[in-house]
């Protein structure tokens, strides 16, 4: 685990540093469990006042989770190892969300999938000029997980639905505008920020404010009206029709993005977001997402999506069904249904 993750403390600050640069620090099952173990220990340690989450080197903060493992599991062991991975990852997500001490996540680089799950629960989320944020699960036939069903529908307007259906990539300025980041710092100031936080863990907000810079204009803000209008519906068919009817080049580009993604994933995401927006307990969201993950990983679309994007890299997945109309409400009901007794997800016990 020392090759994949660095865990240490500096005075009153616990430090989680991802260390898989060749994989853009994508999370493995072991990394999730080791992070949780450290966070649980620091939660009970009165000497630890705050936690920093970052990456040790390279251009990614965290590019996601171990989808290759999940695909092998779906094809070889009926999904047992994949479910174990998701259970551990979602426990980590929930632990971060409910953590009683402030967490600072430095999203300096690629922040996708699993990287979203370990950054968005943090009280302080720092974007830089290197930040590249996305939830690209629609391209591999999975769904926006790691708490996305809680975070994305709470973004301004219909931005969350837009991100889920298109896989759009946001830069640091756009993350700040949307509320995905709380601060924008030049990457050259991160080392100073971390050193000052170690020296004064009770003054994180002031330190980050002192070192913040004015970001470039957020392109996403300029498209907000179109996003809210064209992605207004919770029905995928309505969104596709609205994009088809709009004569702008922007709509044509986003229509191409939406229709290239897995239709089942898109429909799952829209229902997931509608339900997640009404939830009041993050544990309920993670319990729902675990049901979705347990089933979506076994659908042929997931193996096919990973093949097309990560294995053969032909980017020509053959979705089944291939159109939104082919994904019935009955099929969605089955994906969202509770799991059998004893198979549901559960969080770590809360601190006493």
Report the Cα 196 to chain-centroid distance in Å: 28
Catalytic, 114? Answer: yes
- Say whether 122 sits in a helix, a strand or coil: coil
Q: CATH no. for residue 44?
A: 3.90.226.10
Query: What are the tens digits of pLDDT across the range 213-244?
Result: 999 999 999 999 999 999 999 999 999 999 99
Report the Cα 43 to chain-centroid distance in Å: 23
Catalytic, 222? Answer: no
Contact 124, 183 (CB under 8 A): yes
Query: What are the tens digits of pLDDT across the range 297-334?
Result: 999 999 999 999 999 999 999 999 999 999 999 999 99
∠ CA 27-39-2 to the nearest 5 degrees? 50
Confidence of residue 2 (pLDDT cuts 50, 70, 90): low
Q: Is 157 left (phi over 0), alpha (psi -120 to 50) or beta?
A: left
Active-site position among 108, 145, 171, 289: 145
- pTM score of the predicted model: 0.97
Q: What is the DSSP string of 257-293?
A: HHHHS-HHHHHHHHHHHHHHTT-S-HHHHHHHHHHHH
Report the Cα 255 to chain-centroid distance in Å: 23
**Is the pLDDT reported for residue 194 higher than 50?**
yes
- Give the mean pLDDT of 183-193: 98
Within a domain: 352: no
Contact 19, 30 (CB under 8 A): no
Active-site position among 60, 64, 65, 160: 65
Element (H, E) at 111: strand 110-112
Within a domain: 349: no
In angstroms, rounded to a whole number, what is the distance separating the alpha carbons of residues 97 and 336?
23
Within a domain: 265: yes
Active-site position among 137, 285, 289, 304: 137
Cα pseudo-dihedral 126, 271, 296, 119, rounded to 10: 10
Catalytic, 54? Answer: no
| Cα atoms in the Cβ-side hemisphere of radius 13 Å centred on 20 | 18
Within a domain: 345: no
Confidence of residue 1 (pLDDT cuts 50, 70, 90): very low
Count CB atoms within 10 A of the CB of residue 313.
Answer: 9
Within a domain: 344: no
Within a domain: 342: no
In angstroms, rounded to a whole number, what is the distance separating the alpha carbons of residues 189 and 211?
7
Within a domain: 313: yes
Contact 62, 32 (CB under 8 A): no
| Tokens found for residue 264 | 């089942």
Catalytic, 49? Answer: no
Note down the domain range covering 168: 5-336
Measured CA distances, 108 to 51, 63, 178, 292 (Å): 16, 11, 17, 30
Active-site position among 12, 114, 141, 147: 114
Which pLDDT does position 239 carry in this prediction? Answer: 98
**Is the pLDDT reported for residue 351 higher than 80?**
no
Within a domain: 167: yes
Query: What are the tens digits of pLDDT across the range 45-90?
Result: 999 999 999 999 878 899 999 998 999 999 999 999 999 999 999 9
Domain count, the chain: 1
């Amino acid at each position: 685990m020392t090759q994949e993750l660095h865990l240490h403390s500096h005075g009153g600050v616990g430090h989680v540093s991802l260390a898989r640069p060749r994989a853009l620090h994508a999370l493995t099952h072991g990394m999730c469990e080791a992070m949780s173990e450290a966070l649980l220990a620091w939660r009970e340690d009165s000497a630890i006042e705050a936690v920093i989450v970052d990456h040790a080197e390279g251009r990614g903060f965290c590019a996601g989770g171990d989808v290759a493992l999940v695909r092998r599991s779906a094809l070889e062991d009926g999904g047992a190892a994949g479910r174990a991975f998701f259970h551990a990852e979602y426990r980590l997500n929930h632990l971060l969300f409910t953590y009683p001490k402030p967490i600072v996540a430095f999203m300096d680089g690629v922040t996708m999938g699993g990287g979203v799950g370990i950054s968005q629960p943090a009280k302080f989320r720092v974007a830089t000029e290197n930040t590249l944020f996305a939830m690209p699960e629609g391209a591999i036939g999975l769904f926006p997980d790691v708490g996305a069903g809680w975070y994305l529908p709470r973004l301004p307007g219909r931005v969350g639905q837009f991100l889920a259906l298109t896989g759009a990539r946001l830069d640091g300025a756009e993350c700040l505008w949307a509320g995905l980041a709380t601060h924008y710092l030049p990457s050259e100031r991160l080392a100073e920020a971390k050193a000052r936080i170690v020296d004064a863990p009770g003054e994180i907000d002031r330190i980050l404010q002192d070192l913040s810079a004015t970001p470039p204009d957020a392109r996403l803000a300029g498209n907000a009206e179109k996003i809210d209008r064209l992605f207004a519906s919770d029905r995928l068919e309505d969104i596709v029709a609205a994009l088809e009817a709009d004569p702008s080049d922007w709509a044509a580009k986003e229509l191409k993005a939406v229709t290239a993604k897995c239709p089942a994933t898109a429909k799952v995401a829209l229902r997931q977001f509608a339900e997640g927006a009404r939830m009041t307990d993050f544990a309920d969201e993670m319990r729902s997402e675990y049901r979705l993950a347990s089933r979506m990983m076994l659908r042929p679309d997931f193996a096919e999506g990973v093949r097309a994007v990560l294995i053969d890299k032909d980017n020509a997945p053959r979705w089944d069904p291939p159109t939104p109309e082919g994904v019935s409400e009955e099929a969605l009901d089955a994906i969202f249904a509770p799991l059998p007794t004893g198979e549901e997800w559960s969080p770590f016990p809360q601190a006493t």
